[in-house]
Amino acid sequence: MRRSFTFLLRPTSKQAAALTQCLEDHRQLYNAALEHRRTAYGKAGVTIGYGEQSAELKEIRKADPGGQGRWSAGSQQQTLRRLDKAFAAFFRRVKAGRKAGYPRFKGRGRFDTVQWPAVKNGASWDSQPSDRVTRVYLLGIGHVRVHRHRRVSGTVKTISVKREDARWFVVLSCDEVPAEPLPATGVVAGIDLGVASLATSSDGERFDNQRHLAACADRLAAAQRDLARKQRGSMRRRKAVARVAALHAMVRRRRLDGAHKAALALVRAYDVIVHEDLRITGMTRSASGTIEQPGRNVAQKAGLNRSILDAGWGVFLTILADKAESAGRELIAVEPRNTSRTCSRCGHCAKDNRLTQAGFQCVACGHAAHADVNAAKNILRAGLALREAARAA
């Protein structure tokens, strides 16, 4: 199993300066390699690939010992590969006849990640195992302290450093991470993804109340309005920009944190979890939290707050899939159509069953329930039917 681990880095001020320089040099390498490809094609019609560019690294490093030569050839190769991937994606889009978007030059502050293959001389994880604290070694930067808040398992394949505002993170991508199966609970559940709660299960449990995230979104909206009033180039504007960036980062952290907690609680509680397949809806569930009933008064309130709460579902399902795999739990995705307007007791499907956002009442049999729980029950039933069919086939 492949899995990644992210930790906060605690560089010394000297190391932080070196990290900044390292990012900057890799950015310039990226831009130079892009320029090279552009002019070669534009002037001579020659297509240059990763192989040629990588072969030139040796010369570049030799010519600039105090600059590019300081860093690991491995991380520079990864940067050239990243450009190669950008081109590959560009050509794929061209071929498919879609709007292409030629790979772009990365401006300052638009290049925030460097990746190293985890080999001894370029970068190594837990580089001073005898030390009390965990450190990661990065060539040209040193042994940087890591706030390792959980255990790392498997084999570290790549080490990335990421800058987020003023903070630095290390991301380990590990192979052969052993699964940690959980004991069976004998319980199966469907979950409805929502706005008030990230997930509601068919047995009525709610996972991750998103009130805190919504409060965060309100503050972000206020900060953005404030920013819009500031004069360009002013000190106040710079401060307002920093405030918006910090709030964006806070939203990301809270969302991730909530998603991890909810996913963990779910895999602990249930052997089988059925959820809606978001790829089918294209994540276009409208503001009332259902596809079928868009809701009227929500459009205005929508905006930022909505988009922040909605964006969490994709992240959450990815995390849930990882945890389910590790714990040996079964995850089933079902088509979300009609799950919110169908009665989970008698199966009657009608728009009128759902009169408010929270309330469900069946016009045929009178069954009343919380709308999310009713939907989760339908999702569970669909998932179990799918499972039966798969077994019979």
84, 292, 310, 372: the catalytic one is: 372
Interface of this chain with Zn ion, residues 339 to 358, rule: CB under 5 A? 343, 345-346, 348
Question: Residue from 80, 141, 174, 362 that binds Zn ion (CB under 5 A)?
Answer: 362
CB of 363 to Zn ion, least distance (A): 8
# chain residues binding Zn ion, by CB under 5 A = 8
CB of 341 to Zn ion, least distance (A): 11
208, 276, 310, 322: the catalytic one is: 276
Choose between 343 and 371: whose C-beta lies nearer to Zn ion.
Answer: 343
Whether 316 and 170 have beta carbons less than 8 Å apart is answered as no
CB of 203 to Zn ion, least distance (A): 19
Counting contacts by CB under 5 A, is residue 89 touching Zn ion?
A: no
Spatial CA neighbour of 146 closest among 4, 7, 6, 3: 7
Counting contacts by CB under 5 A, is residue 213 touching Zn ion?
A: no
Spatial CA neighbour of 334 closest among 273, 387, 382: 382
Output the CA torsion 24→28→34→36 (10° steps): -170
Q: Give the binding range for Zn ion (CB under 5 A) out of 123-131, 149-157, 174-182, 365-373.
A: 365-373
Question: Residue from 93, 367, 370, 387 that binds Zn ion (CB under 5 A)?
Answer: 367
Taking the C-alpha atoms of residue 174 and residue 78, their distance in angstroms, rounded to an integer, is: 17
CB of 345 to Zn ion, least distance (A): 5
Site string for Zn ion, 137-156 (x = CB under 5 A): --------------------
Interface of this chain with Zn ion, residues 315 to 344, rule: CB under 5 A? 343
CB of 313 to Zn ion, least distance (A): 28
Is there a catalytic annotation at residue 257? no
Write down the residue that tokens 């309005």 correspond to. Answer: 225
Counting contacts by CB under 5 A, is residue 94 touching Zn ion?
A: no
Residue at 205: amino acid letter: E
Choose between 133 and 368: whose C-beta lies nearer to Zn ion.
Answer: 368
Choose between 294 and 366: whose C-beta lies nearer to Zn ion.
Answer: 366
192, 208, 310, 322: the catalytic one is: 192
Is there a catalytic annotation at residue 372? yes
Question: Residue from 222, 365, 368, 385 that binds Zn ion (CB under 5 A)?
Answer: 365
Sign of the dihedral through C-alpha 297, 301, 307, 312: negative
Choose between 367 and 387: whose C-beta lies nearer to Zn ion.
Answer: 367
CB of 342 to Zn ion, least distance (A): 9
Is there a catalytic annotation at residue 59? no
Choose between 248 and 345: whose C-beta lies nearer to Zn ion.
Answer: 345
- Residues involved in catalysis: 192, 276, 372
Point out which residues bind Zn ion (CB under 5 A).
343, 345-346, 348, 362, 364-365, 367
